[in-house]
């Protein structure tokens, strides 16, 4: 073992012992806005109940009920809870949770209220937990937090809540807290996408950015243009449109929506689209020069219109991502028929790139979407972009500052800090990355919607995606949720709490990697989860 590895073991051994042996420390991730706690203990009833008396939310779709059931499942962590409560003081037994939701609406959209207040126990009803929220999605976050306060006692075989009374008042710092997954570089089975959604909810991330197609494959069936998925890797590595509707309406509305998570669909144009041409070769500039999509062909824009029309039927998030990054126009300027078209329209390659992006934006707007584009579009012709554009920063620092100064909105994903496929970026760098760096004007700060960690798929499939995402994505999740003044200035101050959360993910069936080392590393030797 090298000196660095030995040092890491010592550090995490110390932290792990502190976490494992002291159940009375504050182990909530991400850190709430405001917390007060006591020194006592209560026990959950064996028939812990959900009560909603006085709530304006009737839960006709079952979102709250399902969230409550999931909370009980993860609290029990698959153990048999069959302890004897007969000898426990009845004043120490919590019968259930009283959830009070003020809005009857459960429409999930960007900017939905996510705040909550959690009291354990309730001052008015001491035998109940009290949870109140403006919306059901705030209540779901409150249930997640409550689940982290609960502990299974292996001696008594009961669920206990330590350090009562608890008062937690909480709300997110940013409304957009995203995770990108890439199903083009490697196909991700629907059950794995669902597991990723589960894990996002545990960390209070709320946008799944689905990078569906790219150069390598086009796995999604499009009813408007059914040959597009000829670009899939194989006939079994596909999503039917019914699957997509299932992913969106069932996995997302009855799965992700039930976890407070929006889905941002991405259609990256005009580059990153080689796979489109396997079904429709006329989308290629030529058979020997296959991307970007042929800007001179009206059929190209007819296909984009058809795809976005199909998207609008299932993806209900207000935004759609149109990509626009890494566009090399040499195929346009060297292919004879496109070169002729450029000359007729008095355009060079750069001007044609602008034309393509702006025309795609107009199509998206016609289908009711607002637009997200990668930052190259802003860098090259920012003053021409629709004012409904959100610029997605990825190349580096300083761009967000320029975007909001221009009056446009921004999402931060700078690759040097928040790209999960960069395995040499440790969790500490994910934690320290600040979306509002050098942005001090309050109005401009409000234009930063939030941030997103990106799990590009070149080296991940269903076998390793979870341990590549976690726990580093959790470090960014706290940066995006927790008030700035509550964030640790030195990431090592939260290492023990993050190690505890990583072990909690493992207990819930999520394959989160150890903190020690870089991304996706395996444990270096036998030992407790808390010391890795």
* pLDDT averaged over every residue in the chain: 93
Same domain assignment for residues 157 and 215: no
Distances (CA, A) of 254 to 66, 249, 478: 10, 6, 26
User: Is the same domain home to 146 and 227?
Assistant: no
16 domain residue, yes or no: no
* Contact (CB, 8 A) for 171 and 118: no
Q: How many domains does the chain have?
A: 2
Distance of CA 192 to the CA centre of its chain: 14
Evaluate whether residue 345 is within a structural domain: yes
Q: What are the Cα distances from residue 171, in Å, to 140, 276, 496? A: 12, 42, 23
Residue 239 corresponds to which tokens in the numbers above? 């999503």
Q: Which residues pair with 160 in a beta bridge?
A: 43, 151
Q: Which two tokens stand for residue 519?
A: 């991304």
- Mapping DSSP onto H, E and C, the string for 96-124 reads EEEEEECCCCCCCCCCCCCCEEEEECCCC
Kindly provide the residue ranges of all beta strands, DSSP E only, lying in 417-501, ordered along the sequence. Answer: 448-455
Who's near 526: CB < 8 A, 6+ residues apart? Answer: none
Question: Do 245 and 320 fall within a single domain?
Answer: yes
| Residue 483 forms part of a structural domain | yes
pLDDT band at 6 (very low <50, low <70, confident <90, very high): very low
Contact 346, 295 (CB under 8 A): no
Q: Residue 12: inside a domain, yes or no? A: no
Catalytic-labelled residue, pool 132, 326, 370, 452: 326
Q: Is the pLDDT of residue 20 over 80?
A: no
Residues 365 and 448 in one domain: yes
Within 10 A of 529 (CB to CB), how many other CB atoms are there? 19
Reading across the β-sheet that carries 116-120, which strands appear in turn?
34-36, 166-170, 116-120, 128-133, 93-101, 40-51, 158-164, 150-153
Residue-level pLDDT at 245: 62
Residue 527 Ramachandran class (φ > 0 left, ψ -120 to 50 alpha, else beta): left
In a domain, 18, yes or no: no
CATH code of 472's domain: 3.20.20.80
pLDDT at res. 247: 57
Of all residues in the chain, the percent with pLDDT exceeding 90 is 89
Average pLDDT over residues 422-429: 97
Residue 506 forms part of a structural domain = no
Taking alpha carbons only, the member of 170, 178, 88, 179 closest to residue 137 is 170
Q: Please compute, for residue 110, the number of CA atoms within 13 A of its CA located in the half-sphere on the CB side.
A: 20
Q: Phi then psi for 94, rounded to 5 degrees?
A: -95, 120
Structure tokens at 368: 């009711």
Q: What is the dihedral of CA 403, 408, 409, 413, to 10 degrees?
A: -30
Per-residue pLDDT of 209-260, as tens digits, reads 999 999 999 999 999 999 999 999 999 999 887 766 665 555 544 678 889 9
- Considering the domain architecture, whether residues 317 and 404 belong to the same structural domain is answered as yes
Helices marked H in 367-426:
376-381, 399-405, 415-418
Cα distance between the two ends of the chain: 15
Contact 319, 372 (CB under 8 A): yes
Q: What is the domain range of residue 122?
A: 34-170
84 and 147 part of one domain: yes
288 and 415, same domain (yes or no):
yes
Question: In the chain, pLDDT over 70 holds for what percent of residues?
Answer: 93
Average pLDDT over residues 170-184: 98
- Identify the pLDDT of residue 182: 98
The CA-atom distances, in angstroms, between 411 and each of 51, 316, 375, 406 are 38, 19, 10, 14
Q: Which two tokens stand for residue 45?
A: 């009833």
Distance CA 189, CA 197 (A): 13
Kindly state the helix (H) or strand (E) to which residue 163 belongs, with its residue range. Answer: strand 158-164
359: tokens are 């025309």
Last residue of a domain, one of 170, 199, 231: 170
CA angle 136, 142, 143 (to 5 degrees): 90
Q: Which two tokens stand for residue 252?
A: 């997302």
pLDDT, mean of residues 404-430: 98
Domain membership flag for residue 261: yes
Please confirm, yes or no, whether 221 is among the known catalytic residues.
no
The mean pLDDT of 402-429, rounded to a whole number, is 98
Same domain membership, residue 327 and residue 436:
yes
The residue out of 123, 151, 170 marking a domain boundary is: 170
- Which of 170, 201, 221 is the last residue before a domain boundary? 170
pTM for the model stands at: 0.94
Residue 517: the pLDDT is 85
């Amino acid at each position: 073992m090298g000196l660095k590895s030995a040092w890491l073991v010592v550090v995490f051994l110390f932290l792990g012992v502190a976490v494992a042996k002291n159940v009375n420390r504050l182990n909530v991730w991400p850190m709430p806005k405001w917390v007060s706690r006591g020194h006592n203990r209560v026990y959950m009833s064996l028939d812990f109940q959900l009560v909603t008396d006085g709530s304006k939310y009737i839960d006709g779709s079952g979102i709250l009920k399902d969230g409550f059931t999931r909370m009980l499942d993860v609290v029990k962590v698959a153990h048999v809870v069959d302890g004897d409560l007969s000898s426990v003081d009845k004043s120490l037994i919590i019968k259930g949770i009283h959830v009070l939701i003020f809005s009857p609406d459960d429409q999930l959209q960007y900017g939905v209220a996510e705040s909550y207040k959690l009291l354990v126990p309730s001052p008015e009803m001491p035998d109940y937990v009290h949870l109140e929220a403006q919306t059901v999605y705030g209540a779901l976050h409150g249930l997640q937090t409550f689940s982290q306060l609960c502990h299974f006692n292996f001696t008594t075989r009961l669920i206990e809540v330590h350090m009562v009374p608890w008062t937690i008042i909480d709300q997110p710092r940013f409304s957009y807290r995203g995770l990108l997954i890439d199903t083009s570089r490697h196909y991700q089975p629907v059950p794995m996408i669902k597991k990723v959604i589960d894990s996002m909810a545990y960390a209070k991330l709320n946008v799944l950015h689905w990078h569906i197609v790219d150069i390598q494959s086009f796995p999604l069936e499009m009813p408007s243009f059914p040959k597009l998925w000829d670009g899939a890797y194989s006939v079994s590595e596909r999503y039917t449109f019914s699957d997509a509707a299932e992913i969106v309406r069932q996995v997302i509305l009855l799965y992700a929506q039930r976890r407070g998570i929006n889905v941002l669909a991405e259609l990256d144009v005009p580059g990153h689209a080689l796979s489109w041409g396997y079904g429709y070769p006329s989308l290629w500039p030529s058979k020997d020069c296959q991307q970007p999509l042929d800007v001179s062909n009206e059929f190209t824009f007819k296909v984009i219109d058809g795809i976005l029309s199909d998207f609008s039927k299932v993806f209900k998030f207000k935004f759609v991502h149109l990509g626009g990054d890494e566009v090399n126009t040499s195929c346009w300027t060297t292919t004879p028929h496109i070169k002729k078209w450029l000359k007729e329209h008095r355009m060079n390659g750069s001007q044609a790139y602008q034309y393509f992006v702006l025309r795609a934006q107009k199509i998206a707007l016609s289908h009711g979407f607002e637009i997200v584009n990668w930052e190259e579009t802003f860098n090259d012709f920012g003053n021409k972009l629709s004012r409904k554009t959100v610029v997605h920063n990825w190349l580096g620092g300083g761009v967000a500052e320029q975007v909001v100064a221009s009056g446009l909105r921004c999402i931060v994903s700078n690759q040097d800090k928040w790209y999960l496929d960069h395995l040499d970026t440790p969790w500490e760098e994910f934690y320290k990355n600040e979306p509002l760096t050098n942005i001090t004007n309050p109005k401009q700060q409000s234009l930063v919607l939030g941030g997103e960690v990106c799990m590009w798929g070149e080296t991940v499939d269903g076998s390793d995606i979870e341990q590549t995402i976690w726990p580093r994505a959790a470090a960014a999740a706290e940066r995006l949720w927790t008030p700035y003044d509550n964030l640790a200035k030195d990431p090592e101050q939260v290492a023990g709490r993050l190690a505890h959360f990583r072990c909690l993910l493992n207990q819930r069936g999520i394959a989160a990697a150890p903190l020690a080392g870089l991304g996706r590393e395996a444990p270096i030797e036998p030992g407790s989860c808390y010391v890795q």
